[in-house]
Amino acid sequence: MESAIAGVVRHLGASLKNRGLYPPTHPLVRTPVEKCRMELAPFFADRSELALTVSDGTLVLEGVPIFQLTSSLELFMARLGAIGLPAVIFERGVSVEDIELFVRFLHETKEQGLPIPQIKERLARWGVTHIRVTATEEEEKDDFTLAREIYGNALNVVVRALKDVRNGKTPDGAESDRAVREMSGMVSRNRDAMLALTLIKNFDEYTYNHSVNVSVLSLAVAETLGLAETERIAVGVAGLLHDVGKTQLALDLIRKPGTLTVEEFEEIKKHPEEGFAILGKMTHIHESTRSVVREHHMRFDRTGYPRPEPEYRMNPHSYVIAVADCYDALTTMRSYQKARTPQQALEIMRKLAGKSLDPDLVELMERSLGIYPVGTMVRLSTMEVGVVTGTPDGGKGEPKVAILFDRSGNPLATPQGVDLKESDPSSGRPRRMILGTVNPLMHPPVSISGVLQTLSG
Ligand SMILES: [Fe+2]
Ligand SMILES: [Fe+2]
């Protein structure tokens, strides 16, 4: 068995190495892949998958360490390590095409330390079906844990970036780019898990959470819009850094509750241009990201700031940030403003549509979040109170709801997921319907990602 194992990996390594030397159709690239597929076949006689992992710098196939390293094997391991792939799983049914595409992926991927969700997304897009990647050889992390890690990482990136600017340093644009790529991957993979986290509103550290939330919301809108990946990332980075220019303003001005004086407002109005200047010094920043940061308060009807000249052409993606920015600000409690529910926020935004906000995007936002966005507390016709845990079919279908409180208002021991399509056999009518939203402040705070995790577990 050991020699067969070594053979599998040796062929992979050889094909990878030869890809760097010959055209992809060359026999020296293709033949090792075919041999690899042949060597794999006997393993699947009594198992459905085969795990290849790198642990402590040693390549391990199905628990058997491979010590005889050839140069092609070393190259193979180095590529796995550089991309950030600790474990690769070959499934029964793996084809020569799967292996070939996987080798191509290893060869062509130039990014270092790619997040697993993104690797998965890329492989899926390429049509690789029977080769899986995981974070570790152990259990895969569930989406909610992963989403939380990704959110937390983006938050750290923002904190670091703003701190750098305050200290007169230029933030590392590659970090923002990477954080947004991770979030984008997670939005495509499990939008609800990622959106649920935007409900984190931290009053003291408003700017940090706000920046990450605007990025996630913009990514969700960008995806519903069907933007290409590069554009989605550019929009997401703009969301993450849209208020970076505020670091140039006095802290007590940013935190000032209530209305600003005319002079103070003139100060605030400088932050988009300041942001534009800061982004200009950063690496890995797309040109359109810069313009969007400059334009995020210009408004759809061009009445905002900095006031555009009549012939100035605005980047349409600036309107995406504007709707995300508005939605997150409205749903956040500030010292001078109570937090609106998502419905109230969307209602206000509908009134702004065509004025400060792009009407199409307001509609799209509503569609991409659903009528009852994830995290909305709802009262059902049974008088039970639940929380929306998912928005299927782009918000058009019935939302998924988990009941948290029974009809008398007593909390359930564990949230109970219910199907709103389920009907009462005696009357044929739906057993439960949503009557309306409930003010979340009337109930003890609910960790939506905790609920989601309980339901998925
Ligand atoms: Fe702003
Ligand atoms: Fe903002």
**How do residues 195-213 score in pLDDT, each as one tens digit?**
888 877 665 567 888 999 9
User: What span, in angstroms and rounded, lies between the C-alpha atoms of 217 and 311?
Assistant: 30
Confidence of residue 393 (pLDDT cuts 50, 70, 90): low
Query: Rounded to an integer, what is the distance from CA 217 to the centroid of its chain?
Result: 9
Predicted TM-score (pTM) of this structure: 0.67
Confidence of residue 58 (pLDDT cuts 50, 70, 90): confident
Average of per-residue pLDDT across 159-185: 93
Average of per-residue pLDDT across 190-199: 85
The ligand placed nearest to the CA atom of residue 214 is: 2
pLDDT at 281: 97
Distance 453 CA to ligand 2 centre (A): 30
Confidence of residue 283 (pLDDT cuts 50, 70, 90): very high
Q: Which of 189, 187, 180, 191 is nearest to 155 (CA)?
A: 180
User: What span, in angstroms and rounded, lies between the C-alpha atoms of 135 and 154?
Assistant: 19
Distance 271 CA to ligand 1 centre (A): 7
Distance 211 CA to ligand 1 centre (A): 10
The ligand placed nearest to the CA atom of residue 323 is: 2
Could you give the 3-state DSSP secondary structure of residue 228?
coil
Q: Write out the residues surrounding ion ligand 2, Cβ under 5 A.
A: 243, 325
* Radius of gyration, alpha carbons of the chain: 25
User: What span, in angstroms and rounded, lies between the C-alpha atoms of 382 and 407?
Assistant: 7
pLDDT digits (tens, 9 = 90+) for 412-432: 888 898 888 888 888 888 889
pLDDT at 272: 96
Which of 55-64, 75-84, 228-237 tops mean pLDDT?
A: 228-237
The ligand placed nearest to the CA atom of residue 240 is: 2
pLDDT digits (tens, 9 = 90+) for 100-122: 999 988 888 887 777 777 788 78
The ligand placed nearest to the CA atom of residue 334 is: 2
Distance 225 CA to ligand 1 centre (A): 23
Strand partners for 124: none
Average of per-residue pLDDT across 330-346: 78
Contacts of 95 (CB under 8 A, 6+ apart): 37, 129, 130
Answer for the pair 447, 404: CB distance below 8 angstroms, yes or no. no
Answer for the pair 118, 109: CB distance below 8 angstroms, yes or no. no
| pLDDT value at 137 more than 60 | no
Distance 329 CA to ligand 2 centre (A): 7
Q: Which of 124, 321, 353 is nearest to 236 (CA)?
A: 321
Strand partners for 91: 49
In the numeric block, which tokens belong to residue 120? 């998965």
Distance 38 CA to ligand 2 centre (A): 56
Distance 242 CA to ligand 2 centre (A): 6
| pLDDT value at 138 more than 50 | no
pLDDT digits (tens, 9 = 90+) for 352-378: 999 999 999 999 998 888 778 888 888
pLDDT digits (tens, 9 = 90+) for 266-281: 998 999 999 999 999 9
User: What span, in angstroms and rounded, lies between the C-alpha atoms of 324 and 351?
Assistant: 15
The more confidently predicted of residues 327 and 3 is: 327
Answer for the pair 374, 390: CB distance below 8 angstroms, yes or no. yes
Tell me the percentage of the chain whose pLDDT exceeds 90: 35
